[in-house]
A = this chain, B = another copy of it.
Amino acid sequence: MATQRILDFLATRRPNGPCLVVDLDVVRDNFRAFEKALPDSRIYYAVKANPAPEILRLLAAMGSSFDTASVAEVEMAMDAGAPANRISFGNTIKKERDIARAYQLGIRLFAVDCVEEVEKIARVAPGSRVFCRVLTDGEGAEWPLSRKFGCVPAMAVDVLRHAKGLGLDAYGVSFHVGSQQTDLSAWDRALSDAKTVFATLAEEGIVLKMVNMGGGFPTRYLKDVPAAQAYGQAIFSALRKHFGNALPETIIEPGRGMVGNAGVIKSEVVLISKKADNDNVRWVFLDIGKFGGLAETMDEAIRYPLVTRHDGSETAPCVLAGPTCDSADVMYEKTPYPLPLSLTIGDEVLIEGTGAYTTTYSAVAFNGFEPLRSYVI
C-alpha cells in the first residue's frame, strides 16, 4: 500500500521523526470506486477520518458531500469549497449553541437519536431535516460500536414523530454497522430495521425519504476485505429486498474506506531489547505509539501491516511499543507481531493503512512529543 509516489517522497524528502504521507491519487481512486459501486447513493465523506485540507479540497471538487462531527469540521468542509447543502452535522451529541452556529452557516441536515436533541434543533435550527440513528449490533466489525449512538427502532419512531410535531422535516433513518465491517449481511439486518421505522411512520402519514447507511466500509490491513463492488451489490440487494420499488434516497459516509489505504506512516526503530536473557519475545520500540497517532491499536483492535527493509528474511515474535514513558503505550503484546530477526535500531518501519484516524487522534504534547506530522502529496 506504500505507493511509488509515497516511497519517492520519503526517499527524496527524508523527513525527520515520524510522519504520515497520504497519496491523493489513492483517495481519488477510492472515491470513484464508491461512486461506481453505489451509483444511486450520495457520498458524505466522514471528515473526522482525516480532515487534511488537501483531501477535503480534492473530494469537494469531485462532488463529494461531507459528514461532520463539530462546527470546526463544518467550517473545514466549507473552507475546502463544499456548499452548506452538501454538509451533514452527523454527530448525535451537539451543544445547542453549536447547532445554532451550524444553522447560521447554512447547515440544514442534522443527526439525532433522542427527543432531547430534537428539541434543541427545533429551537435553534427551525425547519431543518433530521435523521434518527438506530442502534445496530455491530457484529462482524473489527472496531465494534458500543451502544453510544442510536436508539432502538421503536424509539426512533417516537423521535421522528416528535421532530415532525415540532416543525422539523422528519427526513430519514441512519445506522452504522460498525467500523471495518466485513460481514456483508450486516447491512441487510440494519436495512430491515430502517424499513420498519419507515413503515410504522408511513401509517401515520409521516413519509421518510432517506436512509443514511453510514460508514463501516473497510480498508485492507492484514486480512483481505471485500471490494467496494461487493459491498455495493450486497447493499443494493438488501435495499430492493426491504424497500421494493419504493427505494429511498441513500447516503453513505465512508471515512476509513476513503482514506485508510491512502496513507503510510514512516517510523523508526528506537530500541530493540529483552526483559531477561531467556525471553523468547523481543521488545521493539518505535518512535510512534498509541499516543502519537496509533490510538486504534487500543485493545489491539487494528493490526497494521508493517514494512521493513528486511522483509522476507527470518522473523520472530515481537512486542511492539511506542516511545513514551506510559506503560499503556504498547501496540501489540497479547498477540506478538512477527518481525525480521535482522531488524536493528535506527531502521525505518513503514506502517501501512494509516491514512484514517491517526493524525487528529494524536496527543497534543504527551511526554513532550509533538503531534504526528502529515504530508499530503
Residues of A within 8 A of B (CB): 46-48, 51, 68-73, 76, 90-96, 113-114, 116-117, 120, 135, 143-152, 154-155, 158, 268, 270-277, 283, 285, 287, 291, 295, 298, 321, 323-330, 333, 345-346, 359-371
Contacts and interface: CB of A to CB of B under 8 A. Distances in A.
Contacts of A117: 271, 273
Contacts of A370: 72
Copies held by the complex: 2
A275 to B, nearest CB: 5
Given A285-B93, A371-B364, A69 B147 contact: no
Give chain A's interface secondary structure class: loop
Residue with the highest number of chain B CB atoms closer than 10 Å, among A146, A272, A330: A146
Nearest to A285: B93
Contact of A276 (B93, B155, B323, B363): B155
Nearest to A364: B371
Contacts of A359: 364-365
B365 A363 contact: no
22 contacts: A47-B368, A48-B324, A48-B325, A48-B367, A69-B367, A73-B367, A73-B368, A91-B324, A91-B367, A93-B321, A93-B323, A116-B272, A143-B328, A145-B327, A148-B327, A151-B275, A155-B275, A298-B328, A360-B364, A361-B363, A362-B363, A363-B363
A287 B95 contact: yes
